[in-house]
Amino acid sequence: MELYRAAVRPLLFACDAEWSHRATMAFCRTLSRSKCVLKMLERQFAVRDGRLETIVAGLKFDSPLGLAAGFDKNGTAVDIVSRLGFGFVEIGSVSERPSGGNRARPRIWRLPADEGLRVYYGCPNDGAAVVAARLEKSRPTVPVGINLVETNTGQLVTAEQAAVELALALTRFAGIADYIVLNLSCPNMPHGPGGLFDEPEELGRLLQCIGRSTRLPPVFLKLKPAGDLQDPRAIDPILQAVDGYAFVKGFILNIPNPDPYATLRTPAAALDRMRGGITGPSLRRPTNAAIGAWYRRIDRKRHVLIGTGGISSAEDAYEIITLGASLVQLYTAMVYRGPGLVRQINDGLCRLLARGGFRNIGEAVGSANIRPGRYFSSRATISTWAE
């Protein structure tokens, strides 16, 4: 990590953020051609410890820590990143048709004072058919998920059109992806922060459309609940909408920064020159609060939570796990701290598990959230929750 901070990061940060990302991806593609390099990376970064192993949605993960979508948008670096110590890797967001994303430049800004990013990419990608063919030839060493989104044409689409697109894109990854994420809340698409499937009725129609597909892998929904993120009246309608669709295995809560001007060190004048979603540590508190609330509502025999948002240390990962996340993801922290952070977090999780008296990650999930005898399913009444 020190080498990255002292030598690599200054070079990358001296250039435009999007150019630096493209250069990093090109470097990864070059390295992936060498089997010796791949083996060396795995020896350097992987942590093999049975306490980190967990099974989620029938999939085995050597670590609960994964790479979030956004870094490898097109599956061009999956062979490299799967050897950096992650327990899983998520590709995307990928749409059925190729898209150049949002046209206006710049589309990504660094927020160094907050170790964050502001992103307005608009999901540029090569399209589902190309990415699926690429992944079929790859040789990842960990489970790989595909994050799917409707095609960004720059024009508004209806929920019905988006549902048909998502279902078609999903079929291309059957037998290739270990799991699928339906990204229903991307903040920098033409429809803005309000998702096309915010209403439970529309979400139900989407799942009905998806359910017609065959050979479905585990599916997770990435969403931002409308209204108060911790209110059962916002959570329960979503849980009821997915009831009956066994292929939905859980949720990723896409929690925005509720008040960037109050929570960020970056000057307001600088923020006003940017647009898009904000990532980084400022998301940790609202994300943790939402994870805790959702964990108390879900049927934990059916659904799990994947925590993402502001994780940059073992302590961050451990906290969100004990609040209810079965898996966790990061991306932005790697931009600021380098790939060595992955091993540091995995090693730290082992120490924290030992300190907490847990034999494995599974025992720690939700341990700080639910008191003995207090269990709330998706069918619980609001009055029960409020007791």
Domain limits at 268? 2-385
Proportion of the chain above pLDDT 90, given as a percent = 83
Q: Residues with Cβ < 8 Å from 142, sequence gap 6 or more?
A: 61, 62, 82, 86, 87, 88, 89
Q: What's the confidence (pLDDT) of residue 204?
A: 95
Dump pLDDT digits (tens) for 195-219: 789 889 999 999 999 999 888 999 9
Q: What's the confidence (pLDDT) of residue 192?
A: 62
Q: For 274, list phi and psi in degrees, rounded to 5.
A: -115, 170
3-state helix, strand, coil in the chain (%, to 5): 40, 15, 45
**Quick one: which of 177, 88, 80 has its CA closest to 135?**
177
- How far is the C-alpha of 57 from the C-alpha of 152, rounded, in Å? 30
Q: What's the confidence (pLDDT) of residue 377?
A: 45
The answer to whether 224 and 183 are in contact (CB under 8 A) is no
Q: Does 350 qualify as catalytic in the annotation? A: no
Q: Which of 28, 186, 209, 350 is catalytic?
A: 186
Number of domains in the chain: 1
Cβ burial of 57 (10 Å; 0-12, 13-18, 19+) is: buried
DSSP class of 33: T
- How far is the C-alpha of 52 from the C-alpha of 245, rounded, in Å? 29
In this model, does residue 373 exceed pLDDT 70?
no
Q: For 219, list phi and psi in degrees, rounded to 5.
A: -120, 135
In this model, does residue 356 exceed pLDDT 90?
yes
CATH number of the domain where residue 206 is located: 3.20.20.70
Q: What's the confidence (pLDDT) of residue 191?
A: 67
Higher pLDDT, 158 or 60: 60
Q: What's the confidence (pLDDT) of residue 374?
A: 40
195: its two tokens: 């998702």
Dump pLDDT digits (tens) for 106-149: 999 999 999 999 999 999 999 999 999 999 999 999 999 999 99
Dump pLDDT digits (tens) for 14-67: 999 999 999 999 999 999 999 999 999 999 999 999 999 999 999 999 999 999
In this model, does residue 375 exceed pLDDT 60?
no
Average pLDDT over the chain reads: 91
